[in-house]
Structure 1
Amino acid sequence: MSDSRPEFWATGPEGRGRISLPEPIHSPWWALSRRLLLALAILAGTVLLVYFDADGYRDANAPADGITLSDSIYYTTVTLSTTGYGDIAPVADHSRLINAFIITPARIAFLVLLIGTTLEVLASQGRELFRISRWRKHMGHHVVVIGYGTKGRSAVETLVNNGQDRESIVIVDPGSNAMQDAHSDGLAVVTGDATRREVLRRAGVAEADQVIITTNRDDSNVLAILTVRQLNPDVYIVSSAREHENAPLMKQSGANSVITSSDAVGRLLGVSSLSPTLGTVMEDLLTYGEGLEVAERDLLVSEVGKPPQSLPDQVISVVRDEKVYRYFDPVVTQLARGDRLVVVRPAKELPWAPRPGTHDEELSTDEA
């Protein structure tokens, strides 16, 4: 599994639920360096201004010696910091005007830079607290993705490409690199161990519709599944498994679906070796937005009563009463109202192959 973005530490020990939301701003170090350089520029400019106008100032401790460079530095620091001991003061009219219209605004700007940095830190924390509070208020029916490595990113990309709002996806991962990657993708992150109840609570698992678990360790996946199922008995859980032998244990733990990554990759490699053409087709089906795609859609009213083989889309399965039937199963010889179809279709809607359900057709699930 796998910071330049602002973070908010929720209550609790380190690693137990740090929430951070993406925000397109500069690094705090960049902002601090910029403020420091501006403060130094004001300081240096004021020193030079006083030094070149040394004849307009008098030192009460050495009235005959005039103002030196060290006196100019001293006067500038006590003046800009508003200390103002009064031992060095402008006596010439033009020096007093320079103090009134140049050094006084510089003093204000200097103080704003010093105080503003502290205020900005406090304000950013308050702003982040407010954003997280608002995020929690509107969070619900969302998707929690545990682990933001290669599998997690691919899962999120697939969700987004199929219409899922990025704001309704929450990442749970303990790594700082994962947090940076997720923030760059516009996703909220809860930093912490997904096997801990408090971390999952902060991710809103209790209100989530789906949880996708993609860590690289099967034992961590099992613990995460058990914890998620305890917090939300009704959530739909999809988990990855490195080893096929661990898939039954994950289903017993509460996962609705388990994808064995090593077996899937191995089968694809074997198919590609035996038949490069078939391997190309399989890869095409798994690649979003190009060529062919596998999708699930509602049955249209005009398709009720027809056999699956007669539809424009290539139907491979029919979902009826929460059960999946292959298209040739006698149970689904005729399609019924409320069925859902798993089809192979063009990834993009083409003039010669319009995508059903995209032209205001009436769905079989619509109320009469």
Structure 2
Amino acid sequence: MKLPSRDAMARHADGPGDEPGDKPRADEPPASQRVRLPRKVVERPIRQVVKRLAVALLVLVATALIVYVDRDGYHDNSDGPVDLLDAFYYATVTLSTTGYGDITPVSDGARLTNILVITPLRVLFLIILVGTTLEVLTERTRDEWRLNRWRSALRDHTVVVGFGTKGRSAIQTVCAAGLAKEQVVVVDPSAGAIEAANTEGYAGVTGDATRSEVLKRAEVHKARQIIVAPQRDDTAVLVTLTARQLNRGAKIVASVREEENAPLLRQSGADAVITSASAAGRLLGLSVLSPAAGKVMEDLIQQGSGLDLVERPVVRAEVGRGPREVDDLVLCVLRGHRVLGYDDPSLGSLQLTDRLITIVRASPGARGVADRAER
């Protein structure tokens, strides 16, 4: 796959408005409509309508009974006394604000009841009837309030670009390791993918992640880690370059299909690059040579089941020991910017500033030990 030149990527990553004649696309909706937060499951519309009708009927019956109990304080201009039918008739025309005036309160008690009881019931009745309209009018304000609260509370989150097979699996892995769903923001150009992400409990931004404007709506400048998993390698390079310009300190992990594009991704700012085609091929080859070894490798890359790869700091009780003297099975030691194998002669004893890559049995208890070590 032929990728664009670095100058072209730099111009593209600057976002809309940085180049002459570069304007936002006219078909893009306002920003508030492209950030979608997960919603709680609401009742079906027919059930909501039935409930509102039931409450409205209850208010009508209550008003009629109040009038009937105090019927001596009312006068019917047609036949004088007020019966039960007249009470329901008066309640209907009063609550609907029709008010023909043929039945009127004449006593002080009836008039006081109209002021203190029936008038609030009339207001409640009208609110119930126009509740759907009020809900539509207030929906945008409520969404804006939720969005502003979400933006102010979002810190050190994970941005996932692409909600396909790779992106979804990456999210499941980090969430299995303890990341809360509220700390994940999905960016994808497909509205259907964002809807699926919302259904699973993740916030989503609909748009082209190669544009800085879209990544800013995902608060990428405040993110701790960014997972780049689009369908195309050239898109991955552009997204990585744009994300690195917006956030210099975030950890960026990107996926590409072709091995030859991995160096360009690293030059664009990716901390780690996973070649999906090569990785799948190596796993296939390993499974051919040794099905058991392939099964173990597949188990290791599935977080939360069987065996897990865990990175954790060295605890004080392990300082001064060798990697083989630790309770966990140590594969590598991270010392500064170097990754040292457990049998590296230059490793020596463990230091408090080291970090360990270990294999542990996947269980809540094992994860809790790692979490306590982090703290």
Q: 1:213-232, aligned counterparts within 5 Å?
A: 213-232=228-247
Residue 130 of structure 2 aligns to a residue whose secondary structure is helix
Q: What is aligned with 2:38?
A: 22
Q: What is aligned with 1:56?
A: none
Q: What is aligned with 1:309?
A: 324
Provide Cα deviations, 1:213-261, integer angstroms capped at 9, x if missing partner.
Answer: 1111111111111111111122111111111111111111111111111
Residue 145 of structure 1 aligns to a residue whose secondary structure is strand
- 1:234 to 2:249 alignment: yes
CA RMSD of aligned residues (A): 4.2
Q: 1:208-287, aligned counterparts within 5 Å?
A: 208-287=223-302
Letter in 2 for 1:178: A
Deviation larger for 320-329 or 107-116: 107-116
Superposed displacement of residue 113, structure 1: 3.7
Q: 1:109-258, aligned counterparts within 5 Å?
A: 111-258=126-273
Deviation larger for 28-37 or 258-267: 28-37
Q: Which whole-Å CA distance do the structure 2 matches of 1:266 and 1:27 have between them?
A: 47
Q: Please give the TM-score of this superposition, normalised by the length of structure 1.
A: 0.73
The answer to whether the 8 Å contact 1:15/1:191 transfers is no
Q: What is aligned with 2:347?
A: 332
Residue 122 of structure 1 aligns to a residue whose secondary structure is helix
Counting aligned pairs with the same residue, the percent is 45
Deviation larger for 210-219 or 309-318: 309-318
Structure 1 regions of 5+ residues with no counterpart?
1-10, 46-59, 61-76, 91-99
How many pairs are equivalent? 329
Specify whether residues 315 and 172 from structure 1 end up closer, same or farther in structure 2 by C-alpha distance, changes over 3 A only. Answer: same
- 1:297 to 2:279 alignment: no
Deviation larger for 26-35 or 114-123: 26-35
The answer to whether the 8 Å contact 2:205/2:217 transfers is yes
Superposed displacement of residue 145, structure 1: 1.0
Q: Which whole-Å CA distance do the structure 2 matches of 1:248 and 1:38 have between them?
A: 66
The answer to whether the 8 Å contact 1:15/1:174 transfers is no
Q: Please give the TM-score of this superposition, normalised by the length of structure 2.
A: 0.71
Provide Cα deviations, 1:248-279, integer angstroms capped at 9, x if missing partner.
Answer: 11111111111111111111111112211111
Superposed displacement of residue 321, structure 1: 0.8
Q: Which whole-Å CA distance do the structure 2 matches of 1:228 and 1:34 have between them?
A: 49
Superposed displacement of residue 283, structure 1: 1.4
Q: 1:62-73, aligned counterparts within 5 Å?
A: none
The answer to whether the 8 Å contact 2:185/2:205 transfers is yes
Corresponding residue to 2:359 among 319, 344, 354: 344
Q: Which whole-Å CA distance do the structure 1 matches of 2:151 and 2:27 have between them?
A: 17
Residue 259 of structure 1 aligns to a residue whose secondary structure is strand
